[in-house]
Amino acid sequence: MDLKKLLAPRTVAIVGASEKEGFGGDTCRNVMAYADKDRVYFINPKRETVFGKKCWPTLDSLPEDIDLVVICTPQKTVEDLLRQAAAKGARGAVVYASGYSEVGTPEGKAATESLRALCKELDIALMGPNCAGFMNYIDKVSAFAFISEERDRTGSIGIVSQSGQLCLSLMDSPATGFSYSISAGNCTVVSMEDYLQYLVDDEHTRVIGLYMEGATQPEKFVSALRAAALKRKPVVVLKTGRSEKGSRVAASHTGSLSGADRMYDAMFKKFSVIRVRDLEELLATTQLFATLPALPQSTGFASINLSGGETGMCADVGDMEGIEYPDFSPETIARLKELLPGYASPANPLDTTATISYDADVYASVLQTVMDDPSVGMVVLGYTLLHEIADPAIIYMTEGIEKVAAGGRMKPTAMLPFVESTRNPTYATRLAKAGVPVLPPPLYAFPALRHLRDFIRYKPEEHTLDMAIPAPAGKKEHRTLSEFASASILKEYGVPTPEGGVAKNADEAVALAEKAGYPVAMKISSADIPHKSDMGGVRLGIRNADEVREAFALIMDNAAKNAPGADIDGIYVQKMLAPAGMEVIIGVNNDPQFGPAVLVGLGGIFVEIFRDTALLPAPFGEAEAMAMLESLKAAPLFKGYRGKAPLDMEALARMVANVSRLAAEKRDEIAELDINPVFVYEKGQGVRAADALAVLKA
């Protein structure tokens, strides 16, 4: 399958060419407006010309081979046309027709299967069905079923959307520029993941905007994200389903904290994918990346505004989003004092007062002064591009910006309006040409700037860009292991567990206890008894051989009485752990698509009430595990809180990383793993898994 034939074809045939409203007419209208027409053939047996361009009766009648066929005719004609197109060399096809899997009927499903098989047979990369088509603005290929007002939309944002409706909304926004806009439809043949990889590889695409409902090809998806991360190409994803309950079948204690959607979040973080909450945020973020001539060299922002109110908003909303406004240097402040009215007090965010916005030279000098400050990586100019109210400020400000840009010491700059300003496309376009994006108002703008900052901070070499994608799930039954068996797996991977072992009889129990050292705990060992205490299967604080024997008899007695059918391995004798400085939980949940992710958090109320946990897909290293710990709100508790001794974060990070290695290597065996509690001791004293429960896949 060759996506070039679909997305960047040399020759195109439009079947069902027409001048009427509808798929055929709208596609032809777009071809006439946007496409390189010489490489397009219109097909319609009933017409001589369409919009003055020659029409051919059939695909067969065309004078040369084609790469792409765009089928504007109804579902029943599709398969026959695909065969005809293939005979004329076509290896790409766009099918608008609906009536396939999206209708949810057996007929729809059958039509889908048939279409998929045919495309495989003919080696055709098919977009859709049930899609709105695509625009390739770079090569001027138009195969799109909705008419847009004529405007040059060429740019560097590549869009893939599983919804046509959202594609339309994006293309409708002024001052935007796209490389590709792809309404992917049902993705029956070419998948969302294929398009994503194509845009990652495409040199004309600087930033990718993706609307997805979910991935269906995890390996391809991860591979595309990895490639983007290594290339440092931003991928901005709108994925719905945050609020819906995950599809997990089994819900374990920690599992409920790491549902399917949280897995996407964690994965996106790993690969520096920017996740947005709605379409406007996607547009703002992609446009910011696409319009800036270069990314900021550092993450310090300077905010420049014309009034105190605007400055206050930038301070407040910026702070809410974690934007840092470094203090200006004394030189910058001194120079600003010369440039600004006496009553202005230069600081960052800066209120220049409105007066300077009426003098392009002064405005340029202020801007240049701020840009020359070494702590400033990027400048955000607060100003509403007024449309209905006459205020010449924008003229002088734009001239000022253009002067600075011409001077060669420009730093990345964006314009921030306080009410929505896309209604002033004249200045939005002029500023975009100067490399200055016009953002939406603050509640969209500052998240977009935060995404930019996070993207700049990300270093691919600090992340393990692997995921442990599991084999497709087979049986759904799961099997719980005993504590000892669970601990044994942990031990294999260097995770410290209590010393001890399983005793079949009292003598063995005494021997194990003497070896481990008193006091010991003794617990019934059986995969059939997950709640050991409830049936009298646990004895703690045992101090000598006599007590061991006594406990052995008592526990076995209780087991016989309270769990008569249970398959009993023996009794797990373990050294009692010293009280911990803190108790932590570590969990592994194995996502059916993307494999295991490791969750870490403080136990009890921290997890249950404050949901203070970190999640990262396995595998990963100690530095990444440490970053997880640091990301917890409760992180200060590790570091000598209120005069207590600092705890062994390093040992805990090592343990979390080891668990991630275990989870990755055993991704096809372990469904869930719950280490709860983990005892964390003072710095240098290490950590221990005090209890563990593994659930196997089969």
Structure tokens at 68: 């792409």
Q: Which is nearer to a copy of itself, 415 or 555 (CB)?
A: 415
CB of 172 vs a copy of itself, minimal distance in Å: 5
Binding flag, residue 240, a copy of itself (CB under 8 A)? yes
Distance CA 597, CA 663 (A): 8
CB of 259 vs a copy of itself, minimal distance in Å: 14
CB of 143 vs a copy of itself, minimal distance in Å: 16
Distance CA 609, CA 611 (A): 6
Structure tokens at 54: 């020659």
Piece in contact with a copy of itself (CB under 8 A), picked from 405-413, 511-519, 531-539, 636-644: 636-644
In the region spanning residues 49 to 108, those forming contacts with a copy of itself, defined by CB under 8 A, are 102-105, 108
Is residue 40 a contact partner of residue 162, using CB atoms and an 8 Å limit? Answer: no
Binding flag, residue 440, a copy of itself (CB under 8 A)? yes
CA distances from 233 to 136, 220, 449, 452 (A): 19, 17, 16, 12
Binding flag, residue 148, a copy of itself (CB under 8 A)? yes
Structure tokens at 444: 């969209």
Q: Which of 48, 461, 565, 605 binds a copy of itself (CB under 8 A)?
A: 605
Q: Tell me the three state secondary structure of residue 694.
A: strand
Q: Which is nearer to a copy of itself, 542 or 680 (CB)?
A: 680
Residue carrying structure tokens 């592994």: 588
Q: Which of 51, 268, 493, 641 binds a copy of itself (CB under 8 A)?
A: 641
Nearest 10 degrees: Cα torsion 185, 187, 189, 190: 100
Binding mask 152-191 for a copy of itself (x = CB under 8 A): ---------xxxxxx-xxxxxxx-----------------
Nearest 10 degrees: Cα torsion 128, 212, 296, 632: -160
Residue 68's nearest CA partner among 134, 113, 24, 114 is: 134
Q: Which is nearer to a copy of itself, 438 or 571 (CB)?
A: 438
Q: Which of 95, 182, 200, 315 binds a copy of itself (CB under 8 A)?
A: 315
Binding flag, residue 134, a copy of itself (CB under 8 A)? no
Q: Which of 636, 640, 646, 684 binds a copy of itself (CB under 8 A)?
A: 636
Give one DSSP letter per residue of 16-52, joined into a string.
Answer: T--SSSSHHHHHHHHHHHHS-GGGEEEE-TT-SEETT
Binding flag, residue 243, a copy of itself (CB under 8 A)? yes
Residue 296 backbone dihedrals phi, psi, to 5 degrees: -60, 150
Q: Which of 309, 322, 530, 541 binds a copy of itself (CB under 8 A)?
A: 309
The dihedral region occupied by 472, where left means phi > 0, alpha psi between -120 and 50, and beta the remainder, is: beta
Piece in contact with a copy of itself (CB under 8 A), picked from 147-155, 501-509, 652-660, 662-670: 147-155
Binding flag, residue 477, a copy of itself (CB under 8 A)? no
CB of 122 vs a copy of itself, minimal distance in Å: 28
In the region spanning residues 104 to 133, those forming contacts with a copy of itself, defined by CB under 8 A, are 104-105, 108
Binding flag, residue 313, a copy of itself (CB under 8 A)? yes
Q: Which is nearer to a copy of itself, 103 or 118 (CB)?
A: 103
Q: Which is nearer to a copy of itself, 21 or 64 (CB)?
A: 21
Residue carrying structure tokens 């995921």: 467
CB of 310 vs a copy of itself, minimal distance in Å: 6
Is residue 553 a contact partner of residue 491, using CB atoms and an 8 Å limit? Answer: no
In the region spanning residues 347 to 406, those forming contacts with a copy of itself, defined by CB under 8 A, are 354, 384, 386-391
How many Cα atoms occupy the beta-carbon half-sphere of 266 within 13 Å?
A: 32
Give one DSSP letter per residue of 42-84, joined into a string.
Answer: EE-TT-SEETTEEEES-STT-SS--SEEEE-S-GGGHHHHHHH
Distance CA 320, CA 686 (A): 37
Strand-strand pairing, 692-696 and 670-680: antiparallel
Binding flag, residue 242, a copy of itself (CB under 8 A)? yes
CA 41-46-51 angle, to 5 degrees, is: 50
Q: Which of 64, 113, 219, 278 binds a copy of itself (CB under 8 A)?
A: 278
Q: Which of 67, 194, 202, 281 binds a copy of itself (CB under 8 A)?
A: 281
Binding flag, residue 310, a copy of itself (CB under 8 A)? yes
CB of 230 vs a copy of itself, minimal distance in Å: 29
Residue 472 backbone dihedrals phi, psi, to 5 degrees: -55, 140
Binding mask 215-234 for a copy of itself (x = CB under 8 A): --------------------
Number of residues that bind a copy of itself (CB under 8 A): 84
Binding flag, residue 540, a copy of itself (CB under 8 A)? no
